[in-house]
Amino acid sequence: MTDNTEKQESVNIPNVETSEGFDIPLVKFVDNDGSPSDAPVEARRALSNLSQKPSITEAEMIELSGSTGKILYFRTASIEIGDVFYLRERDSANSENGIVVQIIKKEAATYAQADSKSLWRLLTAVRAKQLQRAHYESPDLIDLFLSATFKVRAAIVNGKWESTAGRVVTRNVDIFYISPKLLLGNILENKEKVNIKLGEFGDESVEFSGQGFDKINLITGMKGAGKSHISKGVIDQSRQKGMTTVVFDINDEYGNLPDAIVFKPGKNLKFRLDRVEPKTFLDIVAMLAPFSDRTQYPAIAGLYRIFKDRKDNKHPIDIKFLIGQANILFPGNATFIANMRAAYSQSLEIVETYNLFMDEKDIVEENNAIKKQESVGENSLTSTFYNLDQKNSAGVIVFSIGGLLPEVQRVIVKLVMDSLKEICDRQTSRHYEEAKVPVYPTVFFEEAHMYMDREFINRLIPVIRHLGMNLFFVTNTPGELPDSVFRLLDNLIMTRMVNEADISRVSACGLTDGETINSFAPELPEHHALLLSAKDGITRNFPLVFHVMDFKLPKSGVTRSMWKALAESS
176-202 pLDDT tens trace: 999 999 999 999 999 999 999 999 999
- pLDDT, tens digit, for every residue of 437-450? 777 889 999 999 99
Contact 421, 465 (CB under 8 A): no
**Sign of the torsion angle spanned by Cα atoms 290, 292, 295, 300:** positive
If DSSP codes are grouped into helix, strand and coil, which group holds residue 333?
A: coil
pLDDT (0 to 100) of residue 118: 67
Q: What is the tens place of the pLDDT at every residue in 265-285?
A: 878 888 889 888 899 999 999
Contact (CB, 8 A) for 295 and 340:
yes
**CA dist 540 to 188, 347, 543, Å?**
7, 52, 9
pLDDT value at residue 464: 79
What digits encode the pLDDT tens for the residues 46-56? 899 999 999 99
Check residue 555 and give its pLDDT.
76
Task: Determine the pLDDT at residue 264.
Answer: 87
Sequence-distant (6+) residues with CB within 8 A of 143 are none
Residue 33: pLDDT over 70: no
Confidence label for 39 from pLDDT (cuts 50, 70 and 90): very low
From the centroid of its chain, how far is CA 132? 58
Q: Worst-scoring range by mean pLDDT, 8-17, 412-421, 556-565?
A: 8-17
Distance from the Cα of residue 345 to its chain's centroid: 46
Helix (H, G, I), strand (E, B) or coil at 181: helix
Which pLDDT score, from 0 to 100, does residue 540 have? Answer: 92
CB 163 within 8 A of CB 154: yes
**Distance between CA 271 and CA 318 in Å, rounded?**
10
Tell me the DSSP string of 92-112: GTTT--EEEEEEEEEEE---T
User: Which whole number is the average pLDDT over 471-487?
Assistant: 94
Per-residue model confidence (pLDDT) at position 481: 94
> Higher confidence at residue 490 or residue 424?
490
- Output 66 or 32, whichever has higher pLDDT: 66
Residues 472 and 234: beta-carbon distance below 8 Å? yes
pLDDT-derived band at 3 (thresholds 50, 70, 90) equals very low
Residue 308: the pLDDT is: 93
**Res 4: pLDDT:** 41
H-state helical runs in 34-134: 114-126, 128-131
Q: What are phi and psi of 188, to 5 degrees?
A: -110, 140
Q: Which range in 35-49, 106-120, 514-528 is most confidently predicted, on average pLDDT?
A: 514-528
Name the amino acid, one letter, at 521: A
Amino acid occupying residue 198: L
Complete DSSP assignment for 7-32: HHHHTT--EEE-TTS-EEEPP--B-T
Give the separation between CA 308 and CA 568, rounded to whole angstroms.
Answer: 60
pLDDT for position 29: 43
Q: Measured between alpha carbons, how far apart are the two ends of the chain, in Å?
A: 63
Helices (H), 358-405: 360-371, 381-390
| Range 350-354 average pLDDT | 93
Give the range among 30-44, 118-132, 379-393 with minimum mean pLDDT: 30-44
The pTM of the full predicted model, rounded to 2 decimals, is 0.83
Do strands 491-494 and 173-177 pair parallel, antiparallel, or not at all (unpaired)? unpaired
For 121-174, the pLDDT digits (tens) are: 666 666 655 555 444 455 555 677 889 999 999 999 998 999 876 788 888 899
Q: Which residue has the higher pLDDT, 511 or 122?
A: 511
Q: Annotate 443-506 with three-state secondary structure.
A: EEEECHHHCCCHHHHHHHHHHHCCCCCEEEEEECCHHHCCHHHHHCCCEEEECCCCCHHHHHHH
Give φ, ψ of 449 to 5 degrees.
-65, -15
Which residues are paired to 220 by β-bridges? 475, 494
- Residue type at position 259: D
The predicted model gives 208-233 an average pLDDT of 93
pLDDT greater at residue 42 or residue 557: 557
Of 443, 361, 448, 404, nearest in space to 266 by CA: 404
pLDDT at 542: 95
Indicate the average pLDDT of the chain: 84
Using alpha carbons, select from 68, 95, 63 the residue that is nearest to residue 171: 63
